[in-house]
Structure formats: structure tokens, C-alpha cells
Structure 1
Amino acid sequence: MGATEINSRVGVWRDDQQWTYFLGGHPVYSHRADDRRMFRLVTAQLIESGGCRQVDIIRTFGVPKRNVIRAVNKLRQEGVEGFFKPRPARQGGTVLTPPVLAKAQSLLDEHHSRSEVAKELGVKYDTLRKAINDGRLKEPTPAPAVSTKSSRDTLDTKAAEQLGTACTRVDDRLAAAFGESSGAIIRFEPCLDVPKGGVLCGLPALLANGLLQGAQSLLGEVKGYYRSVHILLLLAFMSLCRIKTVEQLRGYSPGSSASWSGWIVYRRFAVYERNWTNSVWMIRLKNGVHISAGSGWRPTPKLPAHFILTAMCGYIMATKQNYRENTYPETVFVFAVL
């Protein structure tokens, strides 16, 4: 900033607000510091009038040579008015017609990349990009990141620095500990590399057979971070995974097991396993069948194979009730855990 010599005859005084050009000791031009149109006009007039050369402007102001040449040509061809004409609005082409836009939007909604959409529609990538930038097309929000086994193990290890290994969701745990929460909300998230993750396919069948119906009457009120729903889901998934005792859960990574069970409720459930014998488990579950008769622990009569889920010594067994081989010759079992 301050005074700068353009050549031996022409100079410029620059500050944050105003630029003033001098020929000898006389001011000849002036414009605001941020007025790019006036800058191009003034420098083009200085060059065209012989006051300085193109190289003087390039060296003093550090502008590209092509910009200087373009400004001089505009002055010669269009005069001063050419620097202040409004730019013509970009005319929309006919490539992206309404049907093409509709198809492009459907592909974007399916989280296809821009290059994939452009290739599918047979249009240029820049054409598609301009349609997105001017609002004719909208890109959906990015899909949630999918965790891997290694990333979950790292997260579980970091959690040990606070409450313990795999003790994530610290706020929910503290709220439950102080009685400010009615229990953790089961949250399923997209995951990769989940051992035994296929057991989630059996969840609809478990729910259809009334796994969670009458849970409050069966197990009573379970207070804290883990509730009766968590216990029953864990039991069901343990059964599908052929895990017969809670102790066997020690051999599974907490993050991997929690991906299909919601949570590993070992500490909470171990209390019930110590206090309830096999017969107690059977009685509690059978009581649950009678309490929610017709719509809970008793399987729906619409299913050809009737199952009663019974909890025994920390795991679930599925048994058929009143089923003979010749009764339903074309039976397709929804699930079978024997």
C-alpha cells in the first residue's frame, strides 16, 4: 500500500478505500479499492493512451497478461460502456429436460455418484454439476458412515478410559445410574464385519411369536441402563447363535456382540442366572404365557408351527407344541432353534 511507481511518468496511490492514479503530479483517475471493473477500465485507458505499457501493469499489480489484453481489446471494440454492460444470463440448455432431470434426481436419491449419474444419462459431468449448483437437482445427505470391526474395537478400548471397556453412551449410562432415565434405547446402526450378524434376520420371527409381549409381567420391573427388553433380546440372539450360557459371551468382542444384541447385559443377567434355577426360569416363562394368553408368549395360531420360547439356565430353547409330522406336510418353519 501507499505510493507505487508504474513507470517514470505514471504512479498510483493505494489504500484500503481508494486507488488514485497520477500522471506526473496530477491525479487523473480514481476508483474504489474493490472496484474491479474500474481497475480494468483505467489500466486499459493508460495503455491505450500511451501512458504505460502492458508489462508495466502486469509487473506493478501482478495481474495475468491475458486479463490485461482482454481489457484493452474490450476498450477498443466496445468502448467504456463495454465494461459496465450486465453479463448475459446463462441460457438453460435442452440436454436436461424435465424427464431427464427426474431420472437424474432418482439416481441421486439412490446415492449414486455424480460421475455415475452423468454416465447413465449420457450427459457431460459439468452439465450435471451446474444443474446441482443452480438448484435444479439436489444431492441427498451423505449416508451414515458404516463402522468396521476394527473401528468398533478401537472405540471400545477408548471407552475403557472412562467407565470401562465397551461402555459407550456415557450420558445415557450416567442418567440411568442417577435415576434420570427409564433405560437405554435400543439403537441399531449400519455395521460391517459383524460376527453372527445374520441372527438379525430372525428378529421379525421372534417378535411375531410374542418375544417381547408380557415382558414386564414375566421379568418384573428391571431398573437401570438395561431393561427387560434388552435381556430378552440377548437371550433370543444367544439361542440363535447357539450360545448356551452367559459365561460363553466372554469369548466374544463386546463391540461385535453388541452389534446384534443391542447391548451385552452380562452383569445384569448374571444376577438372574444365579438366583433363578432352571425350574424357576420355566415357571416364570409359563406364567408369562398365561398372563398374555392369546397375544403374547403363546404363538399366534396363524403360524403352522407353534413355538413356545422358554428360558432355561441363561438361554432360550424353541420347542414345538402339539405338532405331528403328518399334520402340516408342507410346513415351512419361520425359525427353528432346537
Structure 2
Amino acid sequence: MKALQHSLPFLPEEIQIISDKIGVVRNDSDIVFYNASGPIYMCKVDDKEGLRIAQGMFVDLKLARPKQIASALGVNASTVQRNKKKYQDGGVKAFAKAAVPERTPYKLDDEKCKEIQENIDKNLSIRSAAEEAGLSEGTIRNGLKRGDLKKENSENKPKSTSERSSQDQESESGIAVKRHSERFFARKGLLEEAKPRFEASEGVKYGGVLIALPVILSQGLLDIGKQVYKKLSNGFFGLQTIFLTLIFMSLLRIKTPEQLTRHSPGELGIVLGLDRAPEVKTLRRKIEELGNQGNAREFADLLARHWADENPDVLGFLYIDGHVRPYHGKNKLPKTHVAQKRLCMPATTDFWVNGTDAQPLFFVTTEANDTLLSTIENEILPEIKQLVEGDKRVTLVFDRAGWSPKTFKKWYDMGFDVMTYRKGNYEPWPEECFQEFEIKICNKKVKYNLGQRSVNMGLKNEDFWMREVRRLCDNGHQTSIITTKQDIDEIFIAVRMFSRWKQENFFRYMGIEFDFNHLCTYDVEPADLERLVPNPAIKEKKKELEKIKKEYEKNLKKLSDAVIQNNDVNQNAKLMQTIRDLDIRCAELVEVISDMPEKVAVKETMDEDKIVKLETERKILTDLIKMTAYRAETSLFDLLVPPVLARNEEEGRSFLKAVFQTPADIIPDEENKCLIVQFHTMANQRSNSALKALCEIINHEECLYPGTDLRLVFNPQSCKRNYAHVRRSEFINHKLFCSSFFLIFEPQKQRSI
């Protein structure tokens, strides 16, 4: 500072000293360089060329070092060095900017921009739009930066998860309530049912469950449900919404209506095409209204008929077994043995009939825990006769609880074959009676040592021959199978009989995944007053008889001891008289018991108002919904054969559960009348590949979202085709029912890093 002021001490106060020869002053628009004599160079703040000239010139004139200039101007010292060299080589002219001719985008011409903009307006991703146009993703993004393309379509901009969450929370009428006008008319009783209406939404939590919609509709749930049940009372939620809500809940493992309180009603409502899903009390009220119509049994019969007509071969072998559902309520119900708890306790027993493919066909709920034999005789056989066409013979497969050769003969004459395990003790066969058979089951080779003979069941007054097939196990045990089936080899008899484990697995899977034992209601209804039950008076008389017998044995022992000890003769005489009286009393009680009826009407044993049974209508309805959900899941599982999913037997159902829970973007396309369901990524690339393949298979069938007039298309993202011209394909044999919105399932692609 002193060096500069030596010649001219009057410098600006805000000057920044660069070296002992120059300084710089900055303001909002200019930069001015000073030496001891005053200003020597000035340029604008945003004049980059002028600043480069100053850097090169001052360093070349040795007015300052490069580091000093770089520090003062906030640039790198190497930049100052380059500008010095440039000044030395060409002077001020070296910094002059060459004129650049105007350029126009040669890739994004007007025609290409129009094509890409149309795809962006259809809510395609930038990557998809680039692939459709044959350009790179960077080219599209540069066009968006320049303004040649516009990303957002304001009329159909997808709402993000956070936006929806904020809107759901801010709703004054309740969480996620938005369709106020329709709800107003619903409260007035002027709306039969709210129609599905979709808005573009990103990351819908339950969007993945829509992939099951085509197979759900193919099961006939909505068609038959609307045929059997009358429309519900006017309101926002109607028959279709209730059915879809219940079956989506089952697939999403929302096992009871009460569990809806732990799930977002707005997210589930998007899948239903509404603003929100029904709340718990609304759903329960609607289920009760359906139960009051009393059509559950007809609904079950028509569903079974539909499933049998779709695949008549399922009636070849029918697996029958009972499933006990314990009851813990306050009402008095008949007791039965509960195997899981090893107790005899109040319970209801359902007898399930599964088809040849092991899928459930129908079930019968017994009122008083009847035996398997009587239930087959009185309930199941009449139902099967209605399903079977012509003189086709059906084979009934069940366990030892239905053992009765006399009944087998009766059923055989009626046109039914039987297959069961032999009951009782039987002599083992010599090992030379067995030979080895090999068969492939579930892609695994299985070996059985089998032997067979014809066996006379020893009925009175007639011969009845059945076929006995035995399996010799590795430990020497022989498992005996008895059947009237004569037209198949013994290996297939063994396979069919041992396939009963599939029905056991069905019960276990339904209990774990669908909470099969849950009672949808504890309400009761009057039971049959004439139902026969064991005579309780006999039980009381037997107790009295047992007590007298014990007294008789006690006095007899006293008399024996008195005789040995030579006690008083009078005392012995009294004991003998007591023994004779007790013996007479025993004989009288035995005669009274023999004259009493073994069974009496239940109304004679208890008050008529206490003779109740659990309400069956709502139970049958909810069980049918869970059956349909299981069958729909199984239909998707059957599509996951290799190469779609390599370990489909082990991982298929777990994979489908993950798919149902996967978030997805749901975007309606009104112009092409389609609904795009774009999946978010799954946990690994294997799952993404399997999901993509599953989507491509599903998309070969057309499906309409029920309740709308818009056509829906299923299409994976990588398939380059016009959604409006997708043709029906015969690639798969599954017949999928079509409703009214075409769904496009698109697995989200992974970006490479």
C-alpha cells in the first residue's frame, strides 16, 4: 500500500491489493484495475473474455505473479498460466470468440418431437419413449431441458404416494374421502353403487394384487355372485365392491375385517377404483346384509357347477376329509374330538371335497358333527350326482374313518367307486408278492414296492370282492389300500391314495395363510329340534348302576373277610341280605336301561331356546370367498412352470404373495381405453424376470375391469406394441373372464449404474 501511495496517495478505500504494482476494485457491474497513477484496465463482471485478457496481460507485463492474480480473481493458477501463454502467442486477438453458426437439433426434428411428445403424454417413461423413437435417453432429456419436449401432462399427471397421503389426511369427511357428490346421493339413498373410476397414481401399495383379477373373474365369482344375490341396499359400496374387497383382502393376507384398521383405506380404494375401501363396520354390515338373503348354499352349488363344467376331469377322483373348527363362545354346541388339541370340545365339522387336481370343489357343514360315513351318504353323494353328467363313475378317496364294506357295496351299485386304507389287523404278505414300480411325481422319481390281490369282504349272504393293493415300506411295514377301482394299474392306485397329503396340506395352508378357522360371526340360529342325540337318562342310569356295582363289590369283600375271620353269624347274615338286595337292584336297572331308547330328540334334553347352531350363511359366504382366492392363486401358480420360475414348486406361492404386495403405478389411458399397472422392482433380478414372464402370459388374454365401460389391456413394458390393438391369443389354455378395463402390467426396468 505504501509503494502505490508513494507516487499518488489518493486511491479508493475499497481497493484490494494484488501486488506492489496493481490493485483491483469491484462493484455490481464493473471490475477496475489500478496502479499508482490510477485506473489502467476495466471490464464488465460477466465479461469472461475481458477477464482472461487481464490475466494474461498483467502476468506477461510482470505486474503480478500468476498465483496473486488467481487468488484475487478466484480462479485456478493453471488457468492464469494458460491465458498468459495465449496472450503471448496471439495478443488480445487470441481471446476473440469465433462466430458460431446457428445449429438446429438434427435428431429431434419436428416430426420426431411430435412422436415422442405423444408417447410422453401417454405417461410412458423417458426410457420407453426413447426406445420407441430409436433414440438415446440423453437425447430426450436434452430436448426436455431446451423446452422442445414437455414432460408433464397436466390433465393426467400421476399423483405420488406423498401427495395422496396428504390429500387423504386433509379430507374433512374422513380419511381418503374425496367423491363427495356421490356420497351425498348415497346418504340420500339415491345411489345404487359407486362406479369404479381410476386416476393416475404412482406407487400404489396394493397395486400388485390386480394381476390376480383375470383369474378371479375366470372363477365366476362376480358373474355367479350377481346372479345369485340381489343388489344391496342403495349406498356407496355395492355388491361388486364387497366381493372384490373380500377377495383382495384374502390374497393380501388381510385375514379379518378388523385387520383393515391397520391398512391404508386410500391405497386399497385405488385398486377398487374408488376413493377408499369400506371401513370395518361398513364391511360387516354389508356381509350381514348378504347373509340375510339366505343364498349362500345356492351360491356354493353354482360355483361348484361352474368349476366342474370348466374342467370335467376334476370329478374323476374326489378327495373327502373333515376339518374341525373349534368353538370358544358361550353357546352350547355339540362336542367333537379336536385333533390339534387332543381334546373333545365344542366345534363344528366341515367335510371338504377336493377335485382330482387337489383344488377345493365344495364343502358340507354338518349340524351336529356327523360321522364321515353318514355325511358322505346323506350330503356329499347327492351333491356329486348333480355335478356328474351321464353314467360317469366317480372314485371317492377318504381315510379309515369311512370304513364300511357293506356301505362300499351299496355305493358301488349306485355308480361310485371307493378307495381307502384298510381298517383293522391283517396278515403281512410274503416279500415275493411285491415288485418295484417307478413313477415321476412333481418332477421327482418315486419308487414303490407294490403287490395286489382280490379280497372277499365277507358280507352276509353275498360275496363282495374288492381289490387290495399293498405297499412294502423300507422298514418292512405294509400299507394296505382297498378299492373297487379295477381299470387302472396298481401304481396309479398307490399314487392316487397317497395324494391325500395334498388335501391335508390344503387345510394347513388355508389355516395359516387365510385364517381358515376364524369365525366371521358368533351369532347363532335355531337348530333342528328333532335331531337325535344320545339319551341323557341312560347316562344317569348307567352312573347309578356303576355306583351300585361298586357297593356290591365292597359288601361282597366284607362278607368274604368276615367268613374267614369267623365273625358274628348275625352280622354275616345282614351282609348277605344287603348283597342280595344290591344284586336285585342291579338287575332292575339293567332291565330299565334296556327298555329306554338310545337316542331321543334334542328338544327332550334341553330348553328349546338353547338348541342353537352357529349361523351358516355368513360362514359359507366367507369360506367361498377364501376358496375362490385359493383357486385363483393356484391358477397363477400353475403358470409359473420353468422357465418362468425355476423352483416353482418350492417358491411359487411365496413369489405370488410378494407380487401381490408389490407397489405399482396405476395409470388409466382414456384415449386408448386401457389401464396401465406398472410394477415396481422386486427383491432380486430372478423375481423381476419371473414377473415379466408372468405378465406376458397373462397379457395373452383380454380382461375387462368389472363395472366400467373401458377396455383393459395387459402388456409388459418391454413389449413394443400399440395397446389399442392387442389381439386375443391362444398361448395358454386358461380361459380368463373379461370385464371392462384393460390392465397393462409392466415390471419396472432396472437402471444400470
Question: What range describes the TM-score normalised by the shorter chain of this pair?
Answer: 0.5 to 0.7
Q: Which runs of 5+ in 2 are unaligned?
A: 1-12, 102-123, 153-157, 313-359, 363-382, 393-732, 737-753
Identity across the alignment (%): 16
The question of 1:77 aligning with 2:109 is answered no
Q: State the alpha-carbon separation in 1 of the partners of residues 19 and 734 from structure 2.
A: 94
Amino acid at match of 2:16: T
Aligned to 1:254: 263
- What is the 5 A alignment of 1:24-103? 24-86=36-98
* Equivalent residue in structure 2 for 1:203, among 212, 216, 229: 216
The one-letter code matched in structure 2 to 1:83 is F
Q: Tell me the distance in 1 between the aligned counterparts of 2:204 and 2:94.
A: 60
Deviates more, 1:62-71 or 1:190-199: 190-199
Instruction: Report the 3-state secondary structure (helix = DSSP H, G, I; strand = E; otherwise coil) of the residue aligned with 2:58.
Output: helix
Sort the Cα spacing of 1:324 and 1:229 in 2 relative to 1 into closer, same or farther, 3 A: same
Equivalent residues of 1:44, 1:72 under 8 A apart: yes
Alpha-carbon distance change, 239 to 68 in structure 1, aligned in 2, over 3 angstroms: closer
TM-aligned CA distance change 1:85 to 1:129, over 3 Å? farther
1:46-88, CA deviations, whole angstroms, 9 ceiling, x for partnerless residues? 1112222223212322321111011111112232122122387
Figure out how many residues of one structure are paired with residues of the other and give that number: 263
* Pairing 1:267–2:284 present: no
SS of residue matched to 1:86: coil
Distance 1:233 1:325 in 2: 32
Could you say which residue in structure 1 is the equivalent of 2:120?
A: none
CA contact (8 A) 2:22 2:33 kept: yes
Q: Is 1:324 matched up with 2:324?
A: no
Query: For the residues of structure 2 that align with 1:276 and 1:129, how far apart are their CA atoms?
Result: 54
Distance 1:196 1:37 in 2: 62
Further displaced range: 13-22 or 227-236: 227-236
Distance verdict in 2 for CA 1:189–1:200, change over 3 Å:
farther
The one of 168, 178, 199 aligned to 1:171: 178
Aligned to 1:230: 241
Contact 2:210 2:271 in 1 (8 A): no
Q: In structure 1, how many angstroms separate the alpha carbons of the residues matched to 2:58 and 2:90?
A: 16
Amino acid at match of 2:49: R
SS at match of 1:76: helix
TM-score normalised to the size of structure 2? 0.27
In the TM superposition, what is the alpha-carbon distance from 1:19 to its structure 2 partner? 1.2
1:276 to 1:54, Cα distance in 2 relative to 1, 3 A = closer
User: Whole-Å Cα distance in 1 between the matches of residues 16 and 256 of structure 2?
Assistant: 82
Does the CA-based 8 Å contact 1:219-1:228 persist in structure 2? yes
Flag the structure with more relative contact order, 1 or 2, with Cα contacts below 8 A and sequence separation at least 6: 2
- 1:99: which partner in 2? none
CA 83–265 in structure 1, closer or farther in 2 if over 3 Å, else same: same
Q: Secondary structure at the match of 2:178?
A: helix
Kindly state the Cα deviation for residue 270 of structure 1 after the two structures are TM-superposed.
2.9
1:240-297 Cα deviation digits (max 9, x unpaired): 7999xxx943256434994897334543343344455455446998xxx9xxxxxxx9
Q: 1:235 to 1:19 in 2, by over 3 A?
A: closer
Given that residues 211 and 232 in structure 1 are in contact (C-alpha distance below 8 angstroms), is that contact kept between their aligned partners in structure 2? no
1:218–1:284: 8 Å Cα contact kept in structure 2? no
User: What whole-Å deviation, never above 9, does each CA across 1:117-164 have from its counterpart, x for those lacking one?
Assistant: 9xxxxxxxxxx786566449x9x99xx8998xxx9xxx7xxx799889
Query: Shift of the alpha carbon at 1:11?
Result: 1.8
Provide the rounded CA distance (Å) in 2 between the counterparts of 1:241 and 1:8.
79
- Provide, for residues 195-215 of structure 1, a one-character-per-residue CA deviation record: whole Å limited to 9, x for no partner: 988754523425797368789
Does structure 2 retain, via aligned residues, the 8 Å contact 1:4–1:12? yes
**SS in structure 2 at match of 1:78:** helix
Q: How does 1:86-125 map to 2 (within 5 A)?
A: 86=98, 109=127
Note the residue ranges of structure 1 that are not aligned, 5 or more in a row.
Answer: 90-105, 118-127, 290-296, 307-316
Moved more, 226-235 or 190-199: 190-199
C-alpha displacement of 1:334: 5.4
